[in-house]
Amino acid sequence: MEYKIAILISGNGSNMLNILDACKKGEIKSKVVTVVSNNPDSSGITKAKDFGVNCRVINSDTLKNKNDFENYLSLHLKKFNVNLICLAGFMKILGRKFVKKWNKKIINIHPSLLPAFKGLNTHKRAINMKVKYAGCTIHYVNNKLDSGEILDQEIVKVLDTDNENSLKKKILMKEHKLYIKVLKNLERNNG
Ligand code: GRF
């Protein structure tokens, strides 16, 4: 199946750019039809504009009411016939109603080996716990934070010399590969 993908971001957008590149190179058949940021100052949105993909900022600071934000978002996604939402550093928790409406159509990337280290500051917590292996996970989004069905994971070895930053870099490199792998598998497995 070839998806019409929306990528939702809040920040840097390196996963987003990597997915856009993979589409351009034909590594994945799906198309990114829009990139949405809830943060007008995200550097990712500038990168998306430079890439030439449709971009939209739906500012979650001015739209304080979660329902309003999600209604605008849904309308925008419907307009582009989106059938897969890829969260890539999207720092807002989506509400129950939105998640139900887009059931099994939202996937997220998380920089830990779930179910370990749900939530924020995963790298710091992993370093503090002196874990020997860390990694990243792509999962479906459900009503509980970082708890939906796991699609795939990648592992990195944590060295004694690693710190929060070096671990972040190592995991991010794996994230980029993993997102493309998961998208390819979804395309293949869904016809
Ligand atoms: C990644 O580490 C991702 O796992 C997490 O947020 C970060 C986003 O990085 N959810 P980028 O914006 O794709 O560079």
| CA angle in degrees (0–180, nearest 5) for 6-140-102 | 55
Pocket around ligand 1 at a 6 A CB cut-off:
11-16, 44, 88-89, 109-111, 136, 172, 175
Does the predicted model carry a pTM greater than 0.85? yes
Mean pLDDT score of the chain, rounded to an integer? Answer: 97
- Residue 45 and residue 30: Cα distance in Å, rounded? 20
> In angstroms, what is the span from residue 42 Cα to ligand 1's centroid?
12
What is the pLDDT, as a whole number, of residue 106? 98
How many C-beta atoms surround the C-beta of residue 173 within 10 A?
A: 14
- Residue 17 and residue 178: Cα distance in Å, rounded? 14
For atom 10 of ligand 1, the residue with the nearest CA is 89
What is the pLDDT, as a whole number, of residue 113? 98
**Exposed/middle/buried for 96, CB within 10 Å: 0-12, 13-18, 19+?**
exposed
| CA–CA distances in Å: residue 88 to residues 22, 37, 80, 129, 137 | 15, 10, 19, 25, 12
Phi, psi of 110 (to 5 degrees): -130, 135
What is the pLDDT, as a whole number, of residue 12? 97
What is the pLDDT, as a whole number, of residue 191? 66
- Residue 138 and residue 125: Cα distance in Å, rounded? 19
**Pair type for strands 106-110 and 133-140:** antiparallel
For the chain, list residues with pLDDT below 50.
none
Helix (H) or strand (E) holding 68: helix 66-79
Substitution site in 109, 113, 146, 167 for ligand 1 pocket (most atoms within 8 Å of beta carbon): 109
Tokens (6 digits) for 32: 């990114």
What is the pLDDT, as a whole number, of residue 63? 86
Give the contacts of 96 (CB within 8 A, at least 6 positions apart).
143
